[in-house]
Chain A
């Protein structure tokens, strides 16, 4: 097993031509677990906005390098759950996590008070509902996370930016205009840029919160195709209110309702043979 990790700056030479899955993980963590092993596991997770309990005792396993979809009617707590994984709620005052999200293989609790949210976010990336590229060049958007981590070597940056753009299926469209403003891209391209930005730092889990709800059908199809491919390099957790999308891109589907996890299983089973009445009602369109 390759466990010796070089620092970012001198691993320039190890960055190889087997792109995009090259070996630079700034923090020295690399998924070594076999596919489908637990990457993260929520255990008795509850979450409060002030006095409002938005998540109630959730237990869910997120398997390594698989796509897990979260579905459920609007307001049931999907985004709230997703944002626990990268501790986004720490930015909102008066919020509280109870219970645990175990993170493997290291095996620590992501939402524990003594765990630094920044450290968590260095390892777990996120793509938002509305594409949110920074008002910088395409190149600088993708290089953002690397620069935050202190990478300044130009050659290394260029190599990593290219790899990330290729992984996000944006390289061909962007390679001739890397210095152009990211805001000149179309909505779908911007969202793929945000995916490239997140991938550039080699996250172990990538969170998607309804990543296509602001996009047209063609851009949506591209993103869906991309997410399906990403499962080879990163564990994916995706919130969607579009059930066809969950069926198309995910391996596992979890159904949430009123802050609770109702049911989880193989996507094909959830959509053909749900075991809970509430799940069935939702996927047959009886509410939501």
Chain B
């Protein structure tokens, strides 16, 4: 900030009044900069506050329940007379539904992205993208009932043993729900691969498919991986579909044909009840929320290192 302040020679072109003074423009810059910084700080502050609340409220919970019980007890029945506080059934439900959702969303989302970015004629792309985005705007409660009333009955035709509430139907619909998101983010990543890269491939005699799979997808890998990771975060955090269609019984199983509760479904269930503040039952919400946040964080960190590793492999 301490540049030597040598006055500009006042030439005829820089007549006073024609331009805003430099001092004014610099001051305006500083004000805008401060505002931007403030906005950024608000976001940071909110995040820190949420974490702080989760941690401090969980601390109260862990005064009553040992960490060992929390992590190893196979039952989660905090609201029953015979209360157990094992988080694993909820974690299992969360991971299983997430896995099913990804098994749907990743192949479909990636294929749609490749089609839109590399194959679709301009007009088709321009009309399909808004439709995709519209799918993302359907309220999740609609997807929930779609899982319960359409997908599960169809699945029951194939698997007659399937109960009416199950993780399979919920996971599949959750996957369909995040397909547009995965497709859209992956497509953006693929389209940012420069044209000259594609031309290099076509000039070697590559077909469209070869160019897409060998040059565009690897070139867009970190963006595509980001799409997958954001997709996982969505699936882990998704609440409505699993609450409606997966049943709400905590169930320590990784079998998707079983009913189960996820962490999010449990939190909704308890938040809607009338538990007194300060009771352990109430504190479980925060412990469960903390676990949810840790799972999401783990996936993001893993994704971060994964994309770095692959980028280095080029």
Are A148 and B210 closer than 8 Å at their CB atoms?
A: yes
What residue in chain B is nearest A133 (Cβ atoms)?
A: B200
Q: How far is the CA of A132 from the CA of B196 in the complex (A)?
A: 6
A183 interfacial by beta-carbon distance below 8 Å: yes
State how many angstroms separate the Cβ of B295 from the closest Cβ of chain A.
Answer: 32
B103 interfacial by beta-carbon distance below 8 Å: no
Are B203 and A88 closer than 8 Å at their CB atoms?
A: yes
Are A134 and B205 closer than 8 Å at their CB atoms?
A: no
Are B206 and A148 closer than 8 Å at their CB atoms?
A: yes
Are A91 and B202 closer than 8 Å at their CB atoms?
A: yes
Q: How far is the CA of A144 from the CA of B197 in the complex (A)?
A: 13
Are A201 and B204 closer than 8 Å at their CB atoms?
A: yes
Pick the residue among A119, A132, A144 that contacts B214 (CB under 8 A). A144
B65 interfacial by beta-carbon distance below 8 Å: no
State how many angstroms separate the Cβ of A167 from the closest Cβ of chain B.
Answer: 16
A93 interfacial by beta-carbon distance below 8 Å: yes
State how many angstroms separate the Cβ of A269 from the closest Cβ of chain B.
Answer: 32
State how many angstroms separate the Cβ of B262 from the closest Cβ of chain A.
Answer: 38
What residue in chain A is nearest B211 (Cβ atoms)?
A: A148
Are A128 and B199 closer than 8 Å at their CB atoms?
A: yes
Interface string of A167-208 (1 = CB under 8 A from B): 000000000000001110000000000100110010000000
Residues from 174 to 231 in B contacting A, C-beta threshold 8 Å: 194, 196-207, 210, 214-215, 218-219
Pick the residue among A133, A194, A201 that contacts B205 (CB under 8 A). A201
- B26 CB contacts on chain A under 8 angstroms: none
A137 interfacial by beta-carbon distance below 8 Å: yes
Interface string of A197-222 (1 = CB under 8 A from B): 11001000000000000000000000
- A201 CB contacts on chain B under 8 angstroms: 204-205
Are A137 and B214 closer than 8 Å at their CB atoms?
A: no
Q: How far is the CA of A183 from the CA of B194 in the complex (A)?
A: 14
Are B205 and A122 closer than 8 Å at their CB atoms?
A: yes
A121 interfacial by beta-carbon distance below 8 Å: yes
- B199 CB contacts on chain A under 8 angstroms: 88, 91, 128, 132
Are A194 and B200 closer than 8 Å at their CB atoms?
A: yes
Pick the residue among B202, B203, B205, B218 that contacts A135 (CB under 8 A). B218
Are B196 and A128 closer than 8 Å at their CB atoms?
A: yes
- B205 CB contacts on chain A under 8 angstroms: 118-119, 121-122, 145, 148-149, 201
Contact of A134 with B219 at beta-carbon distance under 8 Å, contacts A144-B214, A148-B210, A181-B314 already known: yes
A239 interfacial by beta-carbon distance below 8 Å: no
Are A128 and B206 closer than 8 Å at their CB atoms?
A: no
Q: How far is the CA of A57 from the CA of B121 in the complex (A)?
A: 30
A125 interfacial by beta-carbon distance below 8 Å: yes
A86 interfacial by beta-carbon distance below 8 Å: yes
A96 interfacial by beta-carbon distance below 8 Å: no
- A270 CB contacts on chain B under 8 angstroms: none
B122 interfacial by beta-carbon distance below 8 Å: yes
- A198 CB contacts on chain B under 8 angstroms: 203-204
Are B197 and A134 closer than 8 Å at their CB atoms?
A: yes
- B200 CB contacts on chain A under 8 angstroms: 128, 132-134, 194, 197
Q: How far is the CA of A135 from the CA of B223 in the complex (A)?
A: 14
A126 interfacial by beta-carbon distance below 8 Å: yes
- A133 CB contacts on chain B under 8 angstroms: 200
Q: How far is the CA of A137 from the CA of B312 in the complex (A)?
A: 10
Interface centre among B201, B204, B206 (most CB of A within 10 A): B204
Q: How far is the CA of A229 from the CA of B205 in the complex (A)?
A: 24
Are B196 and A121 closer than 8 Å at their CB atoms?
A: no
> 6 tightest A-B contacts by CB?
A122-B205, A126-B203, A132-B200, A121-B205, A135-B314, A145-B204
Show 5 residue pairs from A and B whose CB-CB distance is below 8 angstroms, ordered by the A residue.
Answer: A133-B200, A134-B214, A144-B214, A147-B214, A148-B204
Task: State the B residues within 8 Å of A (CB).
Answer: 121-122, 194, 196-207, 210, 214-215, 218-219, 314
* New A-B pairs, 7, CB < 8 Å, besides A118-B206, A121-B202, A130-B196: A128-B199, A128-B200, A132-B197, A134-B197, A134-B215, A148-B206, A201-B205
